[in-house]
């Protein structure tokens, strides 16, 4: 498609100096398809995208020395390595992922042929991402493609996307990917259940703690109150995970971050009422709020988000007085607006990564309860985002992600309605892994239920189709696979893929305050921040002992850390018309290595220097 002169005469936009094409030589270069996808199921095109709709294109430049970063990450994360805990600075990490100068020059010259100069660019801190704002008409000219408005047949959400784009052949070695183009992902919060048996009961705000019942139920050497079999509270988690009596510091610089997306607002009134009920010493405490990409945090009680309330109440309730940060990131992949007038079609997760990577001192622990079906995320984009997360790990950040709430299924909460078909045009029946849960550079948290714990039926788990199995989990995963009956689920999963979850925690019947009322909620949205809180307490213990924080956890968890985890051996995660995988002795793709024993983990990490 050519940019017509009538379009040039009509449009005057402040973010580009000119739209003229001064150097036809690059335009005449043969364009070759860079990426092509099959439209995922349930997405249908409505028609051409409006020519004046603005896209913020993210151009990923190759990271030729990423292998050096990966090597460095594993060195500082391996408890048996001499460099364990010697994390890298922001500047050192950026140097390892910086693009080659020839790629920078090639991309700059290409953009200049479309009148896009340096003042029109936004670069990531490492220079490996370049962002530009252009109208659809210009994006189509640059990428030799056609954008359409696509609607999701299940809920009517709209998104502006294309199924393929092309670049001049000489640019292929210098541009790894461009989005939004072929990405149809639908970022979602990990919630399988939301129960409000007491939702007609107003929460009474009071300053006195409820009486803690006598501990009577024995689980080996751990005593847990019998009420915890029906309702999970902060006290239940502290008892079950052997954290009772540990007091974190308010002055050692430890911070626990929580991410929020999709207009999930963290309500301060709800948080304070929860503290009054279950953590009275935290009443009137505050947290830092960071808005990214226009993210909001409305305090209208009717807009209080159960996801954000759950994450904050349990993560910070378990770790108080450790500092807290809530990141509210605006935007979402599909925008539900009137037809042909979408105003924001960018995927918000990348905006959060950009922001955090640009911070000199990010939180030592960050919990995320969002993700998507791996197959709806183009592999090039998934790999790049995963590599960005590795940067945070090398800098000493522990990243915890919920594993998903649909077992091995495709995101439909009714297992009977799960289709579990591939989106590659072949429509093969396969288990559907989640991303970023499948990224090998994060710690993924599955779910359990009950006291004593068994695997909860919705615990997401399985094997990535994008990422190969990392060496740190070779022994654990091959041990599990060797115990599977021959031929079981053959062809439904990738036995050589990155396996998840890594660990687990309780994920059902959590008592929260939402919109001023008390109720119960469940999902790996509960287990993720719970395990993150335990990690934050471990970081607190190391900081208070003069030791560096833990950073990327998995090499530790799969070695020395196993002794501080309680193996979960019962339950399964059904989906796709199957019973899914079984929990069993050792690692399994339902509960991972097991649930945390804070006291034992603390002893391990304090003896690991």
Cβ count near 591 (within 10 Å): 36
The verdict on whether residue 175 carries a ligand-binding annotation is no
Say what the pLDDT of residue 41 is.
Answer: 81
Q: Based on the structure, what is the number of domains in the chain?
A: 2
Q: Where are the alpha helices (DSSP H) in 215-278?
A: 234-240, 268-278
**Is 75 inside a domain boundary?**
no
Say what the pLDDT of residue 39 is.
Answer: 87
Residues 6+ apart with CB under 8 A from 130: 58, 59, 61, 107, 111, 121, 122, 123, 124
Structural domain boundaries enclosing 125:
5-63+97-184
Same domain, 485 and 403: yes
The verdict on whether residue 434 carries a ligand-binding annotation is no
**Is 69 inside a domain boundary?**
no
Same domain, 303 and 410: yes
Following CA atoms 190, 196, 200, 203 in sequence, which dihedral angle do they give, to the nearest 10 degrees? Answer: -60
Q: Which of 3, 294, 334, 332 is nearest to 136 (CA)?
A: 3
Q: Where are the alpha helices (DSSP H) in 291-337?
A: 306-319
Same domain, 179 and 299: no
- In 469-604, DSSP assigns E strands to 497-500, 503-506, 510-514, 517-522, 565-566, 595-596
pTM over cut 0.75: yes
Say what the pLDDT of residue 347 is.
Answer: 67
339, burial (CB in 10 Å: exposed 0-12, middle 13-18, buried 19+): exposed
> Distance between CA atoms of 6 and 517, rounded to whole angstroms?
58
| Joined tokens for residue 76 | 């500082």
Say what the pLDDT of residue 92 is.
Answer: 98
From 152, 184, 216, give the residue that closes a domain: 184
The verdict on whether residue 586 carries a ligand-binding annotation is yes
> Distance between CA atoms of 159 and 149, rounded to whole angstroms?
6
Rg of the chain's alpha carbons, rounded to an integer? 24
Query: Catalytic residue numbers?
Result: 307, 311, 525
Average pLDDT of adjacent 10-residue blocks, the chain of 609 residues: 31 35 54 93 91 94 98 98 98 98 98 96 96 96 96 85 97 97 82 48 33 39 89 97 96 96 92 98 97 92 93 98 95 47 61 95 96 90 96 98 92 70 88 96 97 95 98 98 94 97 97 95 96 98 98 98 98 94 98 98 95
The verdict on whether residue 253 carries a ligand-binding annotation is no
**Is 298 inside a domain boundary?**
yes
**Is 190 inside a domain boundary?**
no
Same domain, 393 and 427: yes
Q: Across the strands, what pairs with 265?
A: 304
Say what the pLDDT of residue 223 is.
Answer: 85
Q: Where are the alpha helices (DSSP H) in 24-65?
A: 24-27
From 136, 151, 184, give the residue that closes a domain: 184
> Distance between CA atoms of 238 and 513, rounded to whole angstroms?
19
> Distance between CA atoms of 294 and 329, rounded to whole angstroms?
7
Same domain, 225 and 147: no
- The phi, psi pair for 399, rounded to 5°, reads -105, 120
Same domain, 379 and 510: yes
3-class secondary-structure state, position 188: strand
Say what the pLDDT of residue 220 is.
Answer: 58
3-state DSSP of 353-378: HHHHHCCCCCCCEEEECEEEEHHHCC
CATH, residue 556: 3.40.50.200
**Is 72 inside a domain boundary?**
no
Say what the pLDDT of residue 425 is.
Answer: 82
């Amino acid at each position: 498609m050519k940019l017509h002169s009538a379009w040039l005469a009509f449009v005057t936009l402040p973010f580009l100096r000119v739209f003229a094409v001064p150097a036809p030589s690059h335009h005449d270069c043969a364009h070759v398809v860079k990426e092509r996808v099959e439209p995922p199921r349930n997405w249908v095109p409505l028609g051409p995208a409006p020519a004046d709709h603005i896209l913020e294109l993210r151009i990923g430049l190759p990271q030729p020395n990423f292998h050096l970063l990966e090597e460095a990450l594993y060195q500082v994360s391996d408890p048996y390595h001499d460099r364990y805990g010697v994390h890298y600075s922001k500047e050192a990490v950026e140097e390892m992922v910086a693009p080659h100068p020839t790629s920078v020059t090639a991309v700059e010259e290409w953009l200049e042929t479309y009148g896009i100069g340096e003042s029109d660019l936004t670069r990531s801190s490492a220079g490996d991402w370049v962002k530009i704002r252009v109208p659809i008409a210009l994006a189509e000219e640059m990428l030799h493609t056609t954008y359409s408005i696509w609607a999701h047949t299940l809920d009517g959400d709209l998104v502006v996307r294309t199924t393929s784009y092309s670049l001049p052949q000489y640019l292929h070695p210098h541009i790894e990917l461009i989005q939004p183009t072929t990405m149809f992902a639908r970022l979602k919060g990990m919630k399988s259940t939301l129960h409000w048996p007491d939702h007609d009961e107003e929460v009474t705000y009071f300053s006195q703690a409820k009486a803690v019942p006598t501990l009577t139920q024995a689980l080996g050497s751990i005593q847990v109150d019998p009420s915890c079999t029906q309702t999970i509270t902060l006290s239940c988690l502290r008892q079950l995970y052997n954290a009772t009596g540990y007091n974190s510091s308010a002055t050692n610089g430890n911070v626990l971050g929580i991410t929020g997306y999709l207009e999930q607002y963290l309500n301060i009134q709800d948080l304070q009422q929860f503290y009054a009920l279950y953590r009275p010493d935290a009443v009137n405490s505050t947290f830092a709020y960071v808005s990214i990409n226009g993210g909001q945090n409305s305090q209208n009680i009717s807009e209080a988000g159960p996801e954000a309330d759950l994450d904050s109440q349990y993560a910070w309730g378990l770790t108080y007085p450790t500092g807290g940060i809530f990141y509210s990131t605006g935007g979402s992949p599909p925008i539900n607006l009137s037809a042909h007038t979408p105003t924001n079609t960018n995927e918000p997760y990348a905006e959060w990564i950009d922001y955090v990577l640009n911070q000199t001192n990010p939180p030592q622990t960050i919990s995320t309860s969002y993700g998507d079906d791996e197959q709806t995320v183009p592999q090039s984009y998934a790999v790049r985002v995963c590599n960005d997360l590795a940067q945070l790990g090398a800098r000493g950040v522990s990243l915890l992600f919920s594993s998903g709430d649909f077992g091995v299924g495709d995101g439909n909460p009714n297992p009977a309605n799960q289709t579990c078909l591939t989106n590659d045009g072949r429509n093969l029946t396969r288990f559907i892994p989640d991303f970023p849960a499948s990224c090998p550079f994060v710690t993924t948290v599955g779910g359990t239920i009950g006291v004593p714990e068994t695997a909860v039926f919705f615990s997401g788990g399985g094997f990535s189709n994008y990422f190969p199995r990392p060496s740190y989990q070779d022994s654990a995963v091959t041990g599990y696979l060797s115990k599977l009956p021959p031929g079981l689920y053959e062809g439904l999963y990738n036995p050589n893929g990155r396996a998840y979850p890594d660990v687990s925690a309780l994920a059902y019947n959590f008592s929260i305050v939402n919109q001023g009322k008390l109720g119960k909620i469940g999902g790996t949205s509960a287990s993720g921040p719970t395990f993150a809180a335990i990690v934050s307490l471990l970081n607190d213990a190391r900081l208070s002992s003069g030791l560096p924080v833990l950073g990327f956890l998995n090499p530790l968890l799969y070695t020395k850390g196993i002794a501080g985890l309680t193996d979960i051996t019962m339950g399964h995660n059904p989906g796709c018309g199957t019973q899914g995988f079984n929990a069993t002795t050792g690692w399994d793709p339902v509960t991972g290595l097991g649930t945390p024993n804070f006291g034992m983990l603390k002893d391990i990490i304090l003896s690991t220097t």
